[in-house]
């Protein structure tokens, strides 16, 4: 069977501060190709170029990747403030309806960092603009330094005993990296938080009663996914779900 086609939801960049480009991190495509066994297809996140129907007809799964710009707070009914940072309204306009359509259709999705936050907002949840400013919460932002230092293990994540993440990982606690400023404030409809950082920040979710794969994580499993004992089962299970979806349709 042909490999499942995995839409890798991209971000907008200005190369050399001048040349507009749609791109997705190489690590995401490597994880999809090497660990999920899928064909990575980078998606330009702009409703002028792609539609939800086009994408669903083409792809057997989607990775909603990380990205610096935050989901616009209007998407969850809050007014914009300086704390909300920068936005990518084009990605919001594709990613949020695409997530809802995939959940309805049972098409597998994997949310990563910004993608994890998008899944929550798409289902009606809200976000804190800056979790390190909250009482008792830690700084989860990306550290300075080399790529190795940025993606180094930073904190434990504890999963619900017997939940899908604990079953997938074969253990209730794992170590993860951490490269985000925002976090889930209220969980959306059917969003089940299944893993937490030591400060209580939600780190792993799934969508209750969804027909397809819906696991999402606040950390970045795409970093060295083929070598990492936490990333590997996640991308492998996502690939299995996309293969099953492709075989069925």
Ligand X SMILES: N[C@@H](CCC(=O)NCCCC(=O)O)C(=O)O
Question: Toward ligand X, which CB reaches closer, 157 or 166?
Answer: 157
For ligand X, which stretch binds (CB under 6 A), given 37-45, 52-60, 66-74, 91-99? Answer: 66-74
Task: Name residues whose C-beta falls within 8 Å of residue 141's C-beta, 6 or more positions apart in sequence.
Answer: 132, 178, 179, 180, 181
Q: Residues in the chain, how many?
A: 249
Binding pattern for the stretch 1-40 against ligand X, x by CB under 6 A and - elsewhere = ------------------------x---------------
Among 4, 7, 40, 66, binds ligand X (CB under 6 A): 66
Give the pair of three-digit tokens for residue 99. Answer: 């997530």
Under the binding rule (CB under 6 A), the answer on residue 45 touching ligand X is no
Contacts with ligand X, 204-243, as mask; x by CB under 6 A: ----------------------------------------
One of 4, 7, 61, 67 touching ligand X (CB under 6 A): 67
Burial of 145 (0-12, 13-18, 19+ CB in 10 A): exposed
Q: Shortest CA distance to 117 belongs to which of 108, 106, 128, 107? A: 128
Count CA atoms closer than 13 A to 145's CA, side-chain side: 10
Residue 133 CB, shortest distance to ligand X, in Å, is: 13
**What mask of x and - would describe binding to ligand X in positions 156 to 195, judged by CB under 6 A?**
-----------------------xxxx-------------
User: 14 exposed, middle or buried (CB, 10 Å; 0-12, 13-18, 19+)?
Assistant: exposed
Nearest residue (CB) to ligand X, 11 versus 36: 11
Within 10 Å of residue 148's Cβ, how many Cβ atoms? 9
Piece in contact with ligand X (CB under 6 A), picked from 46-54, 65-73, 102-110, 202-210: 65-73
Secondary structure letter of residue 17 according to DSSP:
T
Interface residue with ligand X, options 27, 102, 113, 210 (CB under 6 A): 113
Residue reference for tokens 């259709």: 105
Which residues of the shown chain bind ligand X in the complex (CB under 6 A)? Answer: 25, 66-68, 70, 113-114, 179-182
């Amino acid at each position: 069977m042909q490999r499942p086609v995995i839409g890798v939801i991209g971000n907008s960049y200005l190369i050399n501060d001048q040349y507009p480009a749609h791109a997705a991190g190489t690590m995401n495509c490597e994880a999809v190709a090497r660990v999920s066994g899928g064909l990575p297809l980078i998606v330009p996140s702009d409703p002028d170029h792609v539609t939800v129907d086009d994408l669903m007809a083409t792809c057997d799964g989607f990775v909603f990747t990380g990205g610096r710009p935050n989901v616009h707070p209007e998407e969850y009914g809050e007014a914009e403030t300086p704390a909300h940072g920068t936005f990518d309204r084009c990605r919001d306009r594709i990613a949020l309806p695409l997530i809802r359509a995939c959940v309805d259709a049972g098409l597998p999705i994997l949310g990563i960092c910004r993608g994890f936050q998008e899944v929550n907002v798409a289902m009606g949840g809200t976000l804190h603009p800056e979790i390190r400013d909250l009482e008792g919460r830690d700084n989860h932002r990306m550290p300075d330094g080399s790529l190795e230092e940025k993606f180094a293990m930073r904190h434990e994540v504890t999963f619900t005993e017997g939940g899908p993440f604990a079953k997938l990982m074969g253990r209730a606690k794992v170590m993860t990296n951490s490269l985000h400023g925002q976090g889930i404030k209220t969980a959306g409809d059917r969003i089940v938080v299944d893993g937490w950082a030591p400060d209580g920040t939600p780190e792993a979710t799934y969508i209750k009663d969804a027909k397809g794969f819906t696991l999402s994580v606040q950390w970045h499993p795409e970093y060295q996914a083929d070598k990492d004992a936490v990333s590997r089962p996640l991308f492998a299970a996502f690939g299995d779900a996309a293969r099953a979806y492709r075989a069925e349709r």
